[in-house]
Each structure stands twice: as structure tokens, then as C-alpha cells.
Amino acid sequence: MKAAVEIAYRAEQAQTLAHELADKLLIEAKESNNLPAAAKKLKLSLEESGEFSRSFGSFIPRVGNSEELAEDSFKLAKETSVALKSTKSATGSWSHH
């Protein structure tokens, strides 16, 4: 039982740290208006989901299911170069949109 609690605690802490880092990335990207530079400064790598359409529903390639992210993705203007917020996907990863 103790091992299961420790695993759950570590997973929770990892999610908390990932969220904090996603928020730092978002703040840095907004300040510099340059997501790649912000990621480099924080020693993070960026990955793209690739193109997807509304017909995919809430599924986003390489991310998983996220209703909020899917909806917000289609609200972004082409001119918007930096995400407006971060969202946790069903797979537990954090995405900016």
C-alpha cells in the first residue's frame, strides 16, 4: 500500500511541476512573442501536433483527447504567434493554445 501511495504522490507532483513549467513557458513566450526562443531559454523542446480538422472531434494527433484544446485551436487567428493559455490533455501532457 505504501508503494502505491508513493507512486500516486510522485505522479501528482510531476503533474504539478509540468503545469508550473507550462505556465512559465507561456509567460516567457508572451513577453518575447517568440515561443521557440522561450522554450530554448527554459531548456524545453517543442513538438507540433500536425494538422487536424474539426472532423477529428476532440482528438488531436500526438496530444490525445482535449475538448478545450480542440475548440480553442480553431479560434486562433493565423497572426497569433503565441498561445493564450495552457491546457492539460487526457494523456497528461500540457499544451499551449
Mean pLDDT calculated for residue range 32-52: 89
% of the chain with per-residue pLDDT over 90: 21
- Residue bearing the bigger pLDDT, 87 or 26: 26
Mean pLDDT calculated for residue range 54-66: 88
Nearest to 70 by CA among 39, 33, 95: 95
Residue 84 DSSP label: S
Alpha-carbon distances, residue 11 vs 33, 47, 55, 74, 88 (angstroms): 32, 22, 33, 31, 14
Tell me which of 4-8, 50-54, 73-77 is least confident. 73-77
% of the chain with per-residue pLDDT over 70: 78
Could you tell me the pTM of the whole model? 0.63
